[in-house]
Amino acid sequence: MTNQNSCDDMLIDRCEPEAPKQKQGASLPNEFNSHYLKVYYGRLFPYADIFRWISYGNDGKHPACDSSYVSRREFSFTLDNDIYLRFLSFNSAAELESKIKEKCPFKIDIGPVYSVDPTKRNAYAQSGDNVFAPVERELIFDIDMTDYDDVRYCCSGADVCLNCWPLMTIAIKVIDFALRDDFGFKHILWVYSGRRGVHCWVCDGKARRLTNEQRAAIADYFRVYKGNENSSKKVSLTGHALHPFLATAYTKVLKEFFEKKLLVSQSLLSTEERYEKILEMIPDAAITSELRGRWQENRRSSSMKEDINVVRWEQLKQLLQSGKHKLSLMLTYSSLHAQGLRRCVEEIVFCFAYPRLDMEVSKHMNHLLKAPFCVHPKTGRVCVPIDPNQCEQFDPTTVPTLSQLLDELNERGLRDDVDGEWKGTSFGNAVSLFRSSFLQPLLKASKDS
């Protein structure tokens, strides 16, 4: 028997701040319906793996485990018509599986571990004891492609293509190496959101026990993009040298991706409207005037063999970084100003390529985040793990959809080995990656600690 009462499937007011939000009236893809979900939840969803993950070794099989740990973890279901069921909890993988199959949620979110079972929070509130509070939660990051709409020209809003997806690849590479090298975290799970971004779960014990203040400090460590829609210069890199983390991010990831992928795929300097946006970031009227003149000549010339974006970028770098510009000979042209101009190249790259985090998601322990292996209701794609060591090969357009998986199941027929249903489908690699690269090392570390 589950540990919920019939009225504990709480319908939450849509204005509650921590509740997940959906747009009213948004239509679902034709393939996304309760029948398809029932088959998916009945034959493919990896309940045992999810439960083993969020248990962190507290499985009742050794004396040191906390028998109440997993029952204090909050789950949230989003049903049809924007109905939210908050503060659900489960004692076993079987309970979780039973409830998901019963409710057939469009989305499953995972919240924090609370001080008490979240389904019993009202009893503690009535007693006057203010003891219901989050006490543990993975350090999480949410990166959404819509936050890059001012620097991508191929898509906008929720649309994503292979020309702008490298922005997510950059984010994974930059954040992952910093979490491991600068903070010493080891158990990090990257997940495709199913539509327009990626999620990161840092699952080390020391990460799960961080306070809100410590989480905010880590989030702020990554913060570089500080402008707003009215700012022409949204990134300002101060000091004689870049912080070691930023220098590493620039030399190992940002510069190469910007120059070899984004510059051309986004045609960042191809039109006057676009290059003027970059010229506004250069704090020297004489240099911007000279570049503008050259680029207008480029536009009139029809003999150029190289890509116009590459040519113009090289011209910009030559003027800003060479130190040979004619104004450098003037007494009013200070060394500080010259340094600022050279740094301007880096600032442009950071502005267009550096990760943009939803800071509030990372700062607070009580935020909900979509569970891995959910099916995104807008695309029908499964939220699959991403290997950070192979993230350049990840293609969001080939992630299996719900209807694709069901077609594959129908072609194969029923199997006696229920746990192996997914092995012969395009879902198989995702589950195998989750187990081998993330879950097994995590559980081994949990038992060894």
Catalytic site positions? 74, 142, 144
- List b or e across 254-292, with b for residues whose CB sees 16 or more CB atoms inside 10 angstroms: beebbbebbbbbbbbbbeeebbebbbebbebeebbebbe
What is the Cα–Cα distance from 159 to 220, expressed in whole angstroms? 28
Residues paired with residue 200 on neighbouring β-strands, in sequence order: 141, 190
- Structure-block tokens of residue 139: 């350090």
Nearest Cα residue to 53 out of 135, 113, 104, 117: 113
Give the dihedral sign, CA 190/193/199/201.
negative
What is the Cα–Cα distance from 394 to 165, expressed in whole angstroms? 9
Q: How many CB atoms lie within 10 A of CB 174?
A: 23
Find the helix packing angle between 47-55 and 93-103, rounded to 10°.
130
What is the Cα–Cα distance from 289 to 113, expressed in whole angstroms? 58
**Whether the Cβ atoms of residue 67 and residue 58 lie closer than 8 Å to each other:** yes
What is the Cα–Cα distance from 417 to 4, expressed in whole angstroms? 30
**For the CA atoms of 240, 244, 246, 250, what is the dihedral angle to 10 degrees?**
90
Q: How many CB atoms lie within 10 A of CB 251?
A: 11
Q: Which residues, 6 or more positions from 49, have their beta carbon under 8 angstroms from its beta carbon?
A: 431, 434, 435, 439
**Whether the Cβ atoms of residue 320 and residue 344 lie closer than 8 Å to each other:** yes
